[in-house]
Amino acid sequence: MDIADKAEGIIRVSLAEDLGSEGDITTRAVCRPGDVGKGQLVCGEPCTLAGQPVADRVFALAGPGASYRQLVQDGDSAAAGQVIGEVEGPLVAVLSGERTALNFLCHLSGIATLTARLVAMAAPHGVKIMDTRKTTPGLRVLEKYAVSAGGGTNHRVGLYDGVIIKDNHIAAAGGIPVAVRRARNALGDELPLEVEASTLAEVRQAVDSGADIIMLDNMSPGQVEKAVAIIGGRAKVEVSGGMNPDNIGSYLGSGIDFISLGFITHSAPPVDISLRLVE
């Protein structure tokens, strides 16, 4: 199943949000019945592209007879002024789908572009850039897809496919050792077991309890270096909490394995992409 199939529900909802029950009243009033045309989607700035199959599906659903041709594939770079796609068909379908298609392309390409920049920064240090569950409600599958298009690594998709023992789990269980033991007893080695630690004492408890991954939460670069020394290669190390493009460079040389940041999904600036009709 490709990304457009996975996201068709939200695509339909987004189109319905724009068209309402009356449809595109402006285009119907201005354009004559049967008018057809061709539009080019143009990048206004350099970017890493994401969302092409989604745009394709938008135009297919916006009205019968519209077809979209992808000229640049997701994950590839596009230059300012480059035509990334062409849509042809009845103008009522082309113009009715325009804004929805662009909303997806601009947002997802923004995520992919920022992700690609951070991945390039982290790669020389052997550090992977990961996303989080801090996504726009309803858009998680698309936003995590965009992270992948930018070369990033998806963390767990939801609560159902990864084990992360966080502060409230630790409080509920009465401590890290108890929480880890219960998770091991319930799940065995089916999935890697990750534990969040916000102090060096918690780091020692997590590594001594047999955590596979230790998430260092809101620690300074100096604290991270001390935590990495305590862990001593007995677990993978993830840094999280407050990470953003301006500060991750301070953590890259500390011997960590992953940086996870919600910033790449909830705060990535959209890319400038527009549609223009051509002869």
What is the torsion angle, in degrees rounded to the nearest 10, for the CA atoms of residue 153, residue 159, residue 165 and residue 170?
150
Q: Which pTM was predicted? A: 0.96
CB atoms within 10 A of CB 48: 26
| Domains of the chain, start order | 3-118+268-278 (3.90.1170.20), 123-266 (3.20.20.70)
259-276 confidence digits (pLDDT tens):
999 999 999 999 999 999
What is the torsion angle, in degrees rounded to the nearest 10, for the CA atoms of residue 18, residue 158, residue 201 and residue 174?
110
Categorize the per-residue pLDDT at 76 as very low, low, confident or very high, splitting at 50, 70 and 90: very high
144 Rama sector, left if φ>0, alpha if ψ -120 to 50, beta otherwise: alpha
Q: How far apart are CA 215 and CA 116, in angstroms?
A: 23
38-72 confidence digits (pLDDT tens):
999 999 999 999 999 999 999 999 999 999 999 99
Q: Yes or no: say if 105 and 41 are a contact pair by the CB < 8 Å rule.
A: yes
Categorize the per-residue pLDDT at 229 as very low, low, confident or very high, splitting at 50, 70 and 90: very high
279: pLDDT strictly greater than 80: no
What is the rounded end-to-end Cα distance, in angstroms, of the chain?
Answer: 36
Q: How far apart are CA 156 and CA 134, in angstroms?
A: 11
Provide the strand spans (E) within 113-223. Answer: 128-130, 163-165, 193-197, 213-217
Buried b / exposed e across 227-243, counting CB within 10 Å, b at 16+? bbebbeeebbbbbbeeb
What are the backbone angles phi and psi of residue 13, rounded to the nearest 5°? -65, -40
Q: How far apart are CA 165 and CA 241, in angstroms?
A: 15
**pLDDT of 239:** 98
DSSP letter assigned to residue 202 = H
172-218 confidence digits (pLDDT tens):
999 999 999 999 999 999 899 999 999 999 999 999 999 999 999 99
129-177 confidence digits (pLDDT tens):
999 999 999 999 999 999 999 999 999 999 999 999 999 999 999 999 9
**pLDDT of 1:** 76
- Of residues 128, 205, 191, the one with CA closest to residue 163: 191
**pLDDT of 4:** 97
CB atoms within 10 A of CB 125: 16
**pLDDT of 6:** 96
Percent of the chain clearing pLDDT 90 (strictly above)? 98
pLDDT mean over 222-232: 98
Residue 89 in tokens: 């068909």
The CA-atom distances, in angstroms, between 159 and each of 146, 163, 214, 217, 222 are 20, 8, 18, 19, 31
Residues designated as active site: 99, 134, 166, 196, 217
